Structure 1
Amino acid sequence: MTCLSSVFYVNNFTDEEINAEHGSKFHHRQANESGFFDKLKEEVELRKQMNMAELNDLDEETRIEVEGFRTGTYLRLEVHDVPFEMVEHFDPFHPVLVGGIGLGEENVGYMQVRIKRHRWHKKLLKTRDPIIVSIGWRRYQTIPVYATEDCNGRHRMLKYTKEHMHCLAMFWGPLAPPNTGVVAVQNLSNNQATFRIIATAVVLEFNHAARLVKKIKLVGEPCKIFKKTALIKNMFTSDLEIARFEGAAVQTASGIRGQVKKAAKEELGNQPKKKGGLPREGIARCTFEDRILMSDLVFLRAWTEVEVPCFFNPLTTALQPRDQTWQGMKTVAELRRENKLPVPVNKDSLYRPIERKARKFNPLVIPKSLQAALPFASKPKDILKRKKPLLENRRAVVMEPHERKVHALVQHLQMIRNEKMKKRKLKETEKRKRFEAEKAKEEQVSRKRQREERKERYRAQDKQSKRIRKGP
């Protein structure tokens, strides 16, 4: 009972009294806090003035040892092992920034970055084209390999960067910590007609052992065919390579699937041999779902690892005159342009219309012993056409006058029957159309009546609900 009465007593306060009480407590607490902070500030300032008074009495060297170098103090740095070109081509109008790097940034290794082509750069970036990257305190030229991560975690190499999306890039160079910004350019020339920055990126991982792969298709042809086994040549170069691909899936151009078993040496027979009498290597034994033909091509689709070039070239712009442009490794396109070399064209890579001849398969032959055991529905019922017509078809049939009259009468009756059936079908079609038209009209009238009934019902329900809300 005490609890209930106390709750009832609290609820009897008015809102104005509660607000006034809370406001006074809040202002009182705020005043106390501001006074505490002011007191702390006064103590800090007093201690600072006392320290300054004590330090002013000391000489400069002792004060530096106690306090350290103050802001705005000039320093003299001595740098050893500087190339003489930097002193010779030093320009005082270009200041030199001095900075420090962490211990982890002194090593060299692979870095993985998330890169995106700049939207103002007109061309896509090509894998293994040298670029100049600026990461932290360093600028150097490197050779990136672009890739994308599939849904199964595989890093698949890209020949070019994506149009409007991010992709991954792996390159070799001095390491930088994750989340470091990267800016990439193609060259340092200021006389470019297009936009200069080609891409922006951010470092994801360094010393990353990501395995980049790309698709590979090995093509071979059969050299000897057994029932469902065949020896495939020109697909592998050695028995060691066949051992690497044992159990891999293969497929013919006609769609027959198979599997690589092992290297075939004892089954070659009269196949050509290498010099010295040893059997030729690189011939694999494969099994298929069905017997293949000698004209079939056999494909093996696999993934091969891509190596990232271990190359980086630091920029030495401070070791040459300012009016010269630093020149690093050139791209393949620039070398072709300078030497006036045409772009090589692979005829197999050109798009051309493919004309495939329809293959004619041999007819299905069921042994007679198996036909006897089959049910009647599954037995072959194809009657072959006779090369020579039967005697009844070869001889001329001369009808008697009575037979001719009977034959003409049967033909007339057949014609009358066909005409009756045609007229009956036309009448049935017209009757069906009339019935469907009448049915559509009835459905339209029925829908209209149902719509009116629903309107009346909803109107009555609305009136009743309004009457209930108003009350008596």
Structure 2
Amino acid sequence: MVGNTYILVFWSILLSNTTKPCKFGRLDLNLFFFTYDGSDSAEEEIDNKQGAKFHRGQPNEVGLIDKMKEEIELRKQMNISELNDLDEVTRVEIEGFRTGTYVRLEIHDVPFEMVEYFDPFHPILVGGIGLGEENIGYMQARLKRHRWHRKVLKTRDPIVVSIGWRRFQTIPVYAIEDQNGRHRMLKYTPEHMHCLAMFWGPLAPPHTGVVAVQNLSNNQAAFRITATAVILEFNHEAKIKKKIKLVGYPCKIFKKTALIKDMFTSDLEVAQCEGKEVRTVSGIRGQVKKAAKEEIGNEPKKKGGQTREGIARCTFEDRILMSDIVFMRGWADVEVPQFCNPLTTALQPRDRTWQGMKTVAQLRRENNLSIPVNKDSLYKPIERKQKRFNPLVIPKSLQAALPFESKPKNIPSRKRPLLENRRAVVMEPHERKVHTLVQHLQLIRNEKMKKRKLKVEQKRKELEAEKAKDEQLTKKRQREERRERYREQDKLKKKIRRHSEA
């Protein structure tokens, strides 16, 4: 080692590259040595030798490379023998931590539950996350219910998701993208199709896999994994909308313009919906114009002399009736809950199951509550009174000018019924006997006609059966004739071909 200076180059791999508290870490070191003679570096010496080799083209090129390898190996063995004579502390200062050496990490501000319930048979994994993953926000994932899970997932039901190094409980909102790019909220996940899930939590990079469960218990009989997903993006500006229907009733009608009440609660809402399309149940289309400022009929004024708010002035393509119901379809923004509950399984005994927020179904089952029923959401038969319209009245002057085909003919001109129709008919004994005899004769005639019709029907069926039988025999005979004719034609063709070949 005399006359040479050694350069130590380290490559270290620290499994825990995060600044957060952790329990264990492992440091792997690789050590390499190069000689330095004071004039040129080891790399320059090797380059000079290789350059000389390629420029001179000596015949002993292989021998030169082997000589260099032997020289490097000799230096390596000398370094190892010198390092073995040193104590451990000095060798660490010179060589550094070798591969397989463990580093003790001291962690501060650890919850006492983690120390109390620590189980050495369950090791703690130490890992690192990127700088962008420390933020919390909204994430969009493409989710699909697992085929082995029995039930569909409901919007706003809490689920436990596993994304990368993190496990936490969140409340997702499911949606599907329409053709125009709108994200429409779904009450339940589809049966066999992907959907969009939006939830709040620590951000994960795109294309990260997600596994979702609803219960962490090990003794459940059903399949545990409820859904699988993949992170698409994290965008807090993405909006999920749901369809709403506003219903109102006319309170005043001016030809094709009407004032609609009970559809809006304030003039501000009317101003936001100006120009939107409205429709009646009967199919008459209209448009919201503006808020009505004048008093509405007998509506009382509010305090301060203000009129009632929420009255909209709408125009329709035809005059509507007071009995019509006016409705407007619209879209409302759905707010995704900002709920993120990290799993603290390390802060409790291993035999205890972690319990987070419960679903609505679990709360109803525990409290023995029935599902509330909204009467307005039930299907019920619609009973509408049949409208009776007055008959068409054509003036006599116009009837005289009309052709005979267009003149009304079925409308009786007499309003009062005839005397024969108004009086009560009382028959004499002789007339009663004659009427009874005529009824008997008509009954006998009807019975004869019925028997005659039955006989004619039976005879017609017999004729049709015979005709079908004859048609079947005819088809069979024609089939035999065609077969015989085709056979004769085939023989004739073969005979002609044989003569032509000869």
| 1:210 counterpart letter in structure 2 | A
| 1:97 counterpart letter in structure 2 | L
Q: How far apart are residue 257 of structure 1 and its match?
A: 2.7
Q: How far apart are residue 466 of structure 1 and its match?
A: 12
Whole-Å separation in 2 of the counterparts to 1:190 and 1:121: 16
1:198: which partner in 2?
226
2:354: which partner in 1?
326
Q: Against the structure 1 CA distance between its residues 226 and 326, is the aligned structure 2 distance closer, same or farther, given a 3 Å change threshold?
A: same
Q: Against the structure 1 CA distance between its residues 209 and 197, is the aligned structure 2 distance closer, same or farther, given a 3 Å change threshold?
A: same
SS in 2 for 1:225: strand
Q: How far apart are residue 76 of structure 1 and its match?
A: 3.3
Aligned ranges for residues 333-352 of structure 1 at < 5 Å? 333-351=361-379
* Equivalent in 144, 148, 169 of residue 176 of structure 2: 148
Q: How far apart are residue 116 of structure 1 and its match?
A: 2.2
Whole-Å separation in 1 of the counterparts to 2:157 and 2:495: 78
Verify: 1:222 aligned to 2:250, yes or no.
Answer: yes
Whole-Å separation in 1 of the counterparts to 2:102 and 2:497: 90
Verify: 1:232 aligned to 2:255, yes or no.
Answer: no
Q: Against the structure 1 CA distance between its residues 274 and 55, is the aligned structure 2 distance closer, same or farther, given a 3 Å change threshold?
A: farther
1:180: which partner in 2?
208
| 2:288 counterpart letter in structure 1 | V
2:384: which partner in 1?
357
- TM-align CA RMSD: 4.4
Once the two structures are superposed, residues 33-81 of structure 1 have per-residue CA deviations (whole angstroms, 9 ceiling, x without a partner) of xxxxxxxxxx99999987666455444558856xx864x4433344444
| 2:389 counterpart letter in structure 1 | N
Q: Against the structure 1 CA distance between its residues 394 and 176, is the aligned structure 2 distance closer, same or farther, given a 3 Å change threshold?
A: closer
Aligned ranges for residues 179-328 of structure 1 at < 5 Å? 179-207=207-235, 209-266=237-294, 268-328=296-356
**TM-score of the two chains, using structure 2 as the length reference:** 0.65
Whole-Å separation in 2 of the counterparts to 1:295 and 1:212: 36
Q: How many residues align?
A: 399
Whole-Å separation in 1 of the counterparts to 2:205 and 2:261: 50
1:11: which partner in 2?
none
Once the two structures are superposed, residues 155-208 of structure 1 have per-residue CA deviations (whole angstroms, 9 ceiling, x without a partner) of 221111222333221111112222222111113223334332222222222236
Normalized per residue, the structure richer in strand is: 2
Q: Against the structure 1 CA distance between its residues 207 and 433, is the aligned structure 2 distance closer, same or farther, given a 3 Å change threshold?
A: same
Q: How far apart are residue 354 of structure 1 and its match?
A: 0.9
Whole-Å separation in 2 of the counterparts to 1:220 and 1:437: 67
Q: Against the structure 1 CA distance between its residues 321 and 294, is the aligned structure 2 distance closer, same or farther, given a 3 Å change threshold?
A: same
Q: Against the structure 1 CA distance between its residues 200 and 296, is the aligned structure 2 distance closer, same or farther, given a 3 Å change threshold?
A: same
Q: Is the 8 A contact 1:220 1:297 kept in 2?
A: yes
Whole-Å separation in 1 of the counterparts to 2:473 and 2:264: 78
Q: Against the structure 1 CA distance between its residues 340 and 388, is the aligned structure 2 distance closer, same or farther, given a 3 Å change threshold?
A: closer
Once the two structures are superposed, residues 86-129 of structure 1 have per-residue CA deviations (whole angstroms, 9 ceiling, x without a partner) of 22322111100111122332222211222222333332211101
Q: Is the 8 A contact 2:295 2:307 kept in 1?
A: no
Whole-Å separation in 1 of the counterparts to 2:258 and 2:244: 22
1:107: which partner in 2?
135
Identity %: 72
Q: How far apart are residue 298 of structure 1 and its match?
A: 1.6
SS in 2 for 1:215: strand
More deviation, 47-56/341-350: 47-56
Q: Is the 8 A contact 2:295 2:308 kept in 1?
A: no
SS in 2 for 1:237: coil
Q: Is the 8 A contact 1:55 1:63 kept in 2?
A: no
Whole-Å separation in 2 of the counterparts to 1:225 and 1:437: 71
Whole-Å separation in 2 of the counterparts to 1:448 and 1:124: 63
SS in 2 for 1:192: coil
| 2:386 counterpart letter in structure 1 | R
Whole-Å separation in 1 of the counterparts to 2:390 and 2:285: 22
1:92: which partner in 2?
120
**TM-score of the two chains, using structure 1 as the length reference:** 0.69
SS in 2 for 1:235: coil
Structure 1 unaligned spans of 5+: 1-42, 396-421
Q: Is the 8 A contact 2:251 2:296 kept in 1?
A: no
Verify: 1:117 aligned to 2:145, yes or no.
Answer: yes
Whole-Å separation in 2 of the counterparts to 1:44 and 1:110: 61
Q: How far apart are residue 283 of structure 1 and its match?
A: 1.0
Whole-Å separation in 1 of the counterparts to 2:288 and 2:358: 43
Q: How far apart are residue 308 of structure 1 and its match?
A: 0.9
Q: How far apart are residue 218 of structure 1 and its match?
A: 1.1
Q: Is the 8 A contact 1:112 1:208 kept in 2?
A: no
| 1:225 counterpart letter in structure 2 | I
Once the two structures are superposed, residues 446-465 of structure 1 have per-residue CA deviations (whole angstroms, 9 ceiling, x without a partner) of 87788678767877898869
Q: How far apart are residue 380 of structure 1 and its match?
A: 5.4
Q: Against the structure 1 CA distance between its residues 322 and 307, is the aligned structure 2 distance closer, same or farther, given a 3 Å change threshold?
A: same
* Equivalent in 161, 177, 181 of residue 133 of structure 1: 161
* Equivalent in 177, 190, 193 of residue 162 of structure 1: 190
| 1:196 counterpart letter in structure 2 | R
Whole-Å separation in 2 of the counterparts to 1:389 and 1:363: 19
Once the two structures are superposed, residues 289-340 of structure 1 have per-residue CA deviations (whole angstroms, 9 ceiling, x without a partner) of 3332222222212221211111111111112232333222222233334444
Whole-Å separation in 1 of the counterparts to 2:482 and 2:163: 74
Whole-Å separation in 1 of the counterparts to 2:65 and 2:328: 78
Whole-Å separation in 2 of the counterparts to 1:50 and 1:115: 62
Structure 2 unaligned spans of 5+: 1-63, 84-90, 424-448
| 1:277 counterpart letter in structure 2 | G
Whole-Å separation in 2 of the counterparts to 1:461 and 1:55: 103
| 1:356 counterpart letter in structure 2 | E
Q: Is the 8 A contact 2:258 2:313 kept in 1?
A: yes
More deviation, 45-54/214-223: 45-54
More deviation, 448-457/244-253: 448-457
1:403: which partner in 2?
none
| 1:290 counterpart letter in structure 2 | D
Q: Is the 8 A contact 2:158 2:357 kept in 1?
A: yes
